[in-house]
Structure 1
Amino acid sequence: MKRRYFSSVAATLLLTAGILGACSSEEGTTEKSANADKVNATGMPIVDEKIQVDGFAAKFFASQDWNKLMLWEEYEKISNIEVNWNTVQTEGLVEKRNLMLASGDYPEFFFASAVPKTDLIKYGEQGVFLPLNDYIDKYAPNFKKILEEYPSVKQGVTMADGHIYGFPAIYDPEYDVLRGDTPWIRKDWLNKLNLKEPETLDELYKVLKAFKEQDPNGNGKADELGWGTGWGINTMIGYLRGTYGLNKQGNMNINLDFKEGTEEFRFIPTTDEYKELITFLHKLYKEGLINKDVFSTEPHVFAAEESKGNFGMLSAVNPLETQKLKGYIGVPVLEGPTGERVINDMSNGLGNLGMFVLTDKAKNPEAMVRWMDHFYGDEGSKMFFMGFEGVTYEEDAEGNLKYLPEIINNQKGLNQDQAISQYLTWPGGYYPGIVKEKYFPVIESTFENSAKAKPYFMKDEDIIPGLNYTLDENDKVSAIMTDVQTYVDEMTAAFITGKQDFGKWEDYKKTLDKMGLQSYLETAQGAYDRMQKQK
């Protein structure tokens, strides 16, 4: 399921026991708001007298009006909390969110706004974002239970100052389909051309080339395409990381893994293995086997091309689920140049940490923590992802849930995401809450893809959480990595497209050193060593 990207693209993961007692005031406890006594400790409604709050959120579909959406209208009836929503499409999220915070004209809470960890610590220490530890302890039983059951999640959501500033997206660590899968390939095209499923890099190249040149759809036109995605080149890189022996500690710190036989970090984008990986992608790109707009297109734009069924391979959500395209199966995990065959692009299930953040303008923080916590429990998760019985889903005698035909086979020609977005907000991958197997709609072929990949999953114990920095460390890392990451992304694109010759690789590495890369590695190493001591 690629909504880790959700980018696949998405994910970041420290402190010892007792973090739920950490808080903001000098006395060591979070002060109660003036309205705290009006909040019911358990059950619904959350408050007896209706309250109104102002919230900001990112949405995937421009046509949605969250103030008239069934999800929020129904939850208002249940909770007695009415949210006045101000929304922006995901493409404009970063600019809008940053402007609001910089100007001081921000709402009581941010929802589905993907606040980065750097901003959580920055605005948390400034007092703009409220520390949530005590509120979680008293008003968030569902989320608190998750922290107790999964210590690495507890580590990941806790900043180096001991505070929790955001509610994250969590993908149930027991739900394999969300933890690792592979792209999709047209089995019918393989059969037509008498090709087997590719299991090595050379075989993948030959298959993609055959798709493009040998008319597998049989229409006599050269309209077939190779490997496509609307989620950017990093989705393709992610699939190949394990094949090239990269990210053996998982993707929680995407640019870092250990030097062989040590616990000392190396910077992945300067390794020989990374160079080999993007050299392979350059070969595919040069021969037109990757969509040419991979560096610029957006998922909703690419969907129009994807829907034509002309791509032989897709890095996307199951094409049958989203586009009603038949014939696609999961691609095998590929064996690499040195025999590596593993999926390392994996996390412990913890996604973006800042999907729900309360600001210092929140008049009812206790009520809003209870409001948010509902989506970490079964009833809230079911409502958020499945919707409403008889309207969006049905339940069989065994308790299994499935979307109604109006959603999965919409008569107006809407794909599943478009159809369900008439009622719900989750498509697009921006949300807090927990994704569980029972309450997340995945069709059988997606499970088959995940089952096919599971034997090649990296070991859970090898995945290290995202590093948490102090404010000073964070400022240092941010100052360095903002430019470094931009340069890495630019050069990765330049090498793959051929705008930069690989003969400049050493110059690229020297430039990164001049930009402070070694200082970043030292700081990251210190944060990791501190984490190990605090276990």
Structure 2
Amino acid sequence: MQMSRKIINKLAPVLCLGLAAIAMAGCSSEDTAKGSTKSAETTEPLSHLSYWKEMHKDAAAIMKSYGEITAIKEIEKNTGVTIDYQHPAQGQGGEQFNLMMASKSLPDVVEYSWNNYPGGAQKAIRDGKIIPLNDYLDDAPNFKKLLDENPEWRRQASTDKGDIIGFPFIRPVRKLQTHDGPVIRKDWLDKLGLPIPKTIDEWYTVLKAFKEQDPNGNGKADEIPIMVGAGELAFTGVFGIPNGFYHEGNTVKYGPVQPEYKEYLTTMNRWYNEGLLDKDFAANDSKMYDAKMTGNQVGAAVMAVGGGLGRFMDLMESKEPQFKLVATPYPTLKSGDKPIFGQMDNQIVGIFTAITGSNKHVKETVKFLDYFYSEEGRMIMNFGKEGVSYTMENGYPKYTDSVMNNPDGLPLAQSLKQHVLSADAGPFLQDVRYMEQYAARPEQQEALTVWAEPSNEKRMPPITIAREDNSRYASIMNDVDTYKNEMIVKFIMGAESLNKFDEYVATLKSMGLDDAIKMQQSGLERYNNR
């Protein structure tokens, strides 16, 4: 007996739902494992967003949650979305991340260095842990515009297969990408009538004078001419190599086995034997480092612009009024040469706010996070709330006095973190006007310019190791790094003769170094083809 058309029409929706349920039930776990990253979205409006993020130590010292930050309160007010932050315990970020990834239920978004996921971000996508943004870019017009206008940013934000990992933290200009470099006591140079050194030979002359001519004026031979660790880029770079992987053209090489590295070690060994290099260079911890710097003993070092140069200038202002640190150029072999290597972050530093497979409001979350890249969102994330943490002066967002000179005596790094994320990280574009105020001393601004001079043309881009090679690569490099670091210290201190350098290279190769180089080479080729 045939059903009437009227009855069929009534049953059609039910039949469709039943067929859909049968189809879904028929999906194998293998299909899911292959990377089905579409979460079960709902049509409810986005009102709350669970957000996993590690707390910066300066923030953890003064608050319990990033939800207390002025900028976040403004974002919530403007969007109607409440962010429910989840923070791992200090120092346990990696461990807590791994435990979280083992769970079937994840927060809506997770901010992390996703290429550190076992197997990399591509494996996280394949595992269904995160959802690539490629299909959602039309819902993120601000972010899409940035990627369209900056192809290299898109390359850095993608996996080797072209999947966009998440919403990245972006440092758009060189002045924000460079924050470490060599510094020297300008007051000691002036006292001894010496210019700022630029070549390695000029450095030797200056350090020798610091050692022998009592620049701190206490009548004791207690000066430490230079305090740097083994393998410091500022001085390996003199010889055209870093302390790790680099590329010449499209060929990957490993710095610590090159003949030029032996030249670096020979120089450091000479400095150590002549008492120019801190005798504790391999053992200094932060307390020892600070004690020597504030004890008016150290003539030169490599440090950060804020937590180093600025901090020590502040600490010594009343104790030693003449104390003055200035940046020096990255040294070269010959006068007039341009330095090749220097500290520089990528424009996209590798921290992504990724939407997880547990998110039920993917499209709305994309729209929400895109707001952070809008002009209004960018201003809030970098400067907070107008009238509270900043005021506009002739079109320039200037932090208020309560931020720059905290009434509770908080250092600037902590005072800023009460209001903004510009000194931290997140899904937004960092603003150079933040750095112009954070590193407010003229010496700091000069440092950011001087340290940005190296070409860094041989620097490795942010490649990833192939998933199938990941375990083997990690095992090789664990052995290589351990042995390399031990031997560098021994070579510098003279505990091992530099005549054994070839033997040291052979040992590294026996550990599988050539295989690791091949894996890096493959990663570089995949990166270039993204």
**TM-score if structure 1 supplies the norm length?**
0.76
Unpaired runs of 5+ in structure 2?
1-30, 315-322
Q: Are 1:502 and 2:492 an aligned pair? A: no
Amino acid at match of 2:73: E
Deviation at 1:289, TM superposition (A): 3.3
Q: Are 1:434 and 2:429 an aligned pair? A: yes
1:163-202 superposed Cα distances (whole Å, 9 cap, x missing partner): 2223333221x44453477322221221122221111223
Alignment RMSD: 3.8
Distance 2:367 2:85 in 1: 18
Question: 1:19 maps to what in 2?
Answer: none
**TM-score if structure 2 supplies the norm length?**
0.77
Cα 1:348–1:87 shift into 2, 3 Å: closer
Question: 1:244 maps to what in 2?
Answer: 239
Cα 1:394–1:217 shift into 2, 3 Å: farther
Partner of residue 449 from structure 1, selected from 447, 450, 453: 447
Cα 1:289–1:522 shift into 2, 3 Å: closer
Question: 1:189 maps to what in 2?
Answer: 188
Cα 1:304–1:26 shift into 2, 3 Å: same
Deviation at 1:334, TM superposition (A): 1.4
Distance 1:225 1:475 in 2: 42
Deviation at 1:154, TM superposition (A): 1.6
3-state SS of paired residue (1:128): coil
Question: 1:257 maps to what in 2?
Answer: 247
Question: 1:200 maps to what in 2?
Answer: 199
Amino acid at match of 1:149: E
Question: 1:395 maps to what in 2?
Answer: 392
Distance 2:85 2:227 in 1: 35
Which of 270-279 and 24-33 deviates more?
Answer: 24-33
Distance 1:207 1:510 in 2: 36
Partner of residue 280 from structure 1, selected from 267, 285, 291: 267
Distance 1:322 1:386 in 2: 22
Q: Are 1:72 and 2:59 an aligned pair? A: no
Partner of residue 258 from structure 2, selected from 271, 286, 303: 271
**CA contact 1:321–1:416 (8 Å) conserved in 2:** no
3-state SS of paired residue (1:243): helix
Distance 2:334 2:236 in 1: 12
How many pairs are equivalent?
Answer: 482
Cα 1:241–1:144 shift into 2, 3 Å: farther
**CA contact 2:372–2:428 (8 Å) conserved in 1:** yes
Distance 1:384 1:126 in 2: 32
1:311-342 superposed Cα distances (whole Å, 9 cap, x missing partner): 43342214564454462222023122798541
**CA contact 1:228–1:313 (8 Å) conserved in 2:** yes
Question: 1:127 maps to what in 2?
Answer: 128
Deviation at 1:476, TM superposition (A): 4.4
Question: 1:317 maps to what in 2?
Answer: 305
Cα 1:418–1:51 shift into 2, 3 Å: closer
Cα 1:168–1:177 shift into 2, 3 Å: closer
Which of 264-273 and 470-479 deviates more?
Answer: 470-479
Deviation at 1:106, TM superposition (A): 5.1
Q: More helix by proportion, 1 or 2?
A: 2
Question: 1:216 maps to what in 2?
Answer: 215
Deviation at 1:28, TM superposition (A): 11
1:278-323 superposed Cα distances (whole Å, 9 cap, x missing partner): 443455456363483666635x995676566654334221456445
Distance 2:525 2:51 in 1: 41
Which of 55-64 and 300-309 deviates more?
Answer: 300-309
TM alignment of 1:293-304, pairs within 5 A = 297=285
Cα 1:346–1:197 shift into 2, 3 Å: closer
Cα 1:504–1:28 shift into 2, 3 Å: closer
Question: 1:162 maps to what in 2?
Answer: 162
Question: 2:24 maps to what in 1?
Answer: none
Q: Are 1:376 and 2:373 an aligned pair? A: yes
Distance 1:293 1:102 in 2: 40
Distance 2:421 2:292 in 1: 24
Pick the structure with greater CA Rg: 2
Distance 2:143 2:291 in 1: 38
1:390-436 superposed Cα distances (whole Å, 9 cap, x missing partner): 33333212x12333333334455433212222333454x55453223
Amino acid at match of 2:455: M
Distance 2:283 2:382 in 1: 30
Unpaired runs of 5+ in structure 1?
1-23, 40-46
Cα 1:503–1:103 shift into 2, 3 Å: farther
Distance 2:34 2:121 in 1: 23
**CA contact 1:245–1:340 (8 Å) conserved in 2:** no
